[in-house]
Amino acid sequence: MIVPERLHSLDAVRAFALLSGIVLHAAMSFLPGFGSVGFPIIDQSPSLVLGLLFFVIHSFRMSLFFFIAGYFAHLQFHRRGLRDFLRDRGKRIALPLIIGWPILFPLVVLPIILATLQHPAGVTQPPPPPNGVTLAFPLLHLWFLYVLCLLYLLVLSVRAVLISCDRGGQLRLSVDRCLRGIITNPAGVIVLATPASVALAAYPYWVPWMGIPTPDTSLIPNSPALIAFFTAFSFGWLMHRQPDLLSIWKNRWKLNLLFAISLSVAALTIVGPIPRYSPEEPGGLMVLYAACYSLSTWCWIFAFMGIGLQFFSAPSHQLRYLADSSYWLYLIHLPLVFLAQATVMSWNIHWIVKFPMILLVTVPLMLVSYHYCVRSTFVGGLLNGRRYQRIVHQNATGVAAVVNESGVDTARAE
């Protein structure tokens, strides 16, 4: 069997989506007024700049991730078959969720308790969950694994129904033609943005400045998140049927980046650059904002996909290492980032020093843990679908050693 070449560009973009989440959470303690939602890790040096960075990253990172997840899922499904695909997803997605949550939950709670004991100014009691939340459960940042499992089952179920109704394959050909039309026509982004736009504008508990509500507090995802991420995942799934379409984004990355920036600016012009954490009254202005926000999400996706294809398609050992490590880094980052934030939150130092300090301390620690505790262990095999074997070569004196890595790629997925 010939193993297809690894998609280096998509690996790079996937790593970027995950690592940008670490940056987003590192910026969270510096958001102006964030203590009003009951979050106790609030730095005494708030930053509007980091607030804007948070806003932009939050607008695209998870939709970008789920798009790539859908693309790789279709690849793996047709390479492996249904049974092996579900077994692999259970091992690499469901199992880290089941094992990781009870380990990470107390580690995340600890720095929150430490911050609460410091009684930072401006922190209030958290508001009760909205009436729309049922089956409440603190999924933490691992919610993306839970939603991925739901999306696998949902897409496979829809696929089974469509296959049974499309014996001649005409419906699939029509879908492929529609998809090609969406990609080749610059106005096609409107089609992709419409479901999330409608869902956000219609959601009664929507906090517009915070974009798509994070589905981390319930076993039933909120409707905007489910609709937006299902759209991204299924679009990625269908894109893999026509991989030649990726070249269009490669050629248009500058234009898409310009559109993405312009639409984010338009959205911020409507809602304001200062973070707001309360639901807004529905109306025409919020409908316009939802449209601008959702359109910006897809333009960011197109832009970053194009950048990845343009600049990161060539094999790179460093990039591959970072792509492999990004899954582990994202899984473990929240307790370390929260602890670093809780440690420095009361220091009389400007955020421009504290924010990079948090990243420069936590990220290297996580990389060290990946290199020595994950990459060549069964954990690395579980997360990456590949366990790198460490081979030690002694020099002529038999004292010094050089460590190399070898291994055979197994399934590549998100």
Percentage of residues in the chain having pLDDT higher than 90: 79
Distances (CA, A) of 72 to 77, 240, 289: 8, 8, 31
Amino acid at 219: L
Which has more pLDDT, 128 or 284? 284
Quote the pLDDT of residue 14: 96
Instruction: Please give the full DSSP string across 305-372, using - where no structure is assigned.
Output: HHHHHHHS-S--HHHHHHHHHHHHHHHHHHHHHHHHHHHHTTSSS-HHHHHHHHHHHHHHHHHHHHHH
| pLDDT recorded at residue 277 | 93
- What local confidence, expressed as pLDDT, does residue 230 receive? 98
Q: Closest Cα partner for 144 from 182, 184, 101?
A: 101
Q: Where are the domains of the chain?
A: 8-406
Q: Region 378-387: what's the mean pLDDT? A: 89
Confidence of residue 408 (pLDDT cuts 50, 70, 90): very low
Each residue of 306-343: b (16+ CB within 10 Å) or e?
bbbbeebeeeeeebebbbbbbbbbbbbbbbbbbbbbbb
Looking at every residue in the chain, the average pLDDT score rounds to 90
| pLDDT at residue 110 in the model | 95
Residue 2 pLDDT > 70 = no
Residue 129 has pLDDT above 80, yes or no: no
Give the model's pLDDT for residue 132.
Answer: 59
Nearest 5°: CA angle at 186, between 185 and 188? Answer: 70
- Label residue 402 by pLDDT band (50, 70, 90): very low
**Residues facing residue 402 across a β-bridge:** 393
pLDDT in tens, 321-338: 999 999 999 999 999 999
Q: How would you classify residue 278: left for phi > 0, otherwise alpha for psi between -120 and 50, otherwise beta?
A: beta
Q: Residue 130's pLDDT is what? A: 54
Quote the pTM value: 0.92
pLDDT in tens, 149-196: 999 999 999 999 999 988 888 988 999 999 999 999 989 999 999 999
Q: If residue 217 lies in a helix (H) or strand (E), which one and from where to where? A: none
Question: Are the beta carbons of 85 and 94 closer than 8 angstroms?
Answer: no
**What does the pLDDT read at residue 117?**
87
CA-wise closest residue to 296 among 220, 344, 230, 228: 228
Q: How far is CA 378 from the centre of its chain?
A: 24
**Residue 124: pLDDT over 60:** no
- Average of per-residue pLDDT across 62-66: 98
> What would the mean pLDDT of 78-93 be, rounded to a whole number?
95
pLDDT (tens digit, 9 = 90+) per residue, 308-324?
999 999 999 999 999 99
Least confident residue range of 23-27, 167-171, 189-193, 339-343: 167-171
Residue 389: what pLDDT?
A: 75
